[in-house]
Amino acid sequence: MKKMKKLLQKIFSPLLLKLESSKGKYSYRRSHRIILIVVGSLFSFLTAGVLAVGVNTDGWGFLFPSVIFGVVGLTCIVIASLGSDRAVARVWSSSQ
């Protein structure tokens, strides 16, 4: 399990390093991480819903919202599950 986490952290390192690179104090709460997981899950379900409804239509207009919702959902879940406390605090803009 730890090998998988290390591999995923390496894959998503450009995103994680950008958020973890700040210096100084930060204010982290466990609820921030939980909220990120919930928001990421909601966006992922929204993506699945848009794709499920959009596949049955004639046009391709469903692709743009599904990509946006998918990226937001994946980003939230990656930061919440793989990021450090500093990265989660930085998402909430609670670091100096």
Tokens of 54: 């959009």
Per-residue pLDDT tens digits for 11-62: 999 999 998 887 878 888 899 999 999 999 999 999 999 999 999 888 898 9
CA separation for the pair 92, 62 (Å, rounded): 30
Helix/strand/coil for 29: coil
Cα 9-3-82 angle, rounded to 5 deg? 30
What pTM value is reported for the model? 0.86
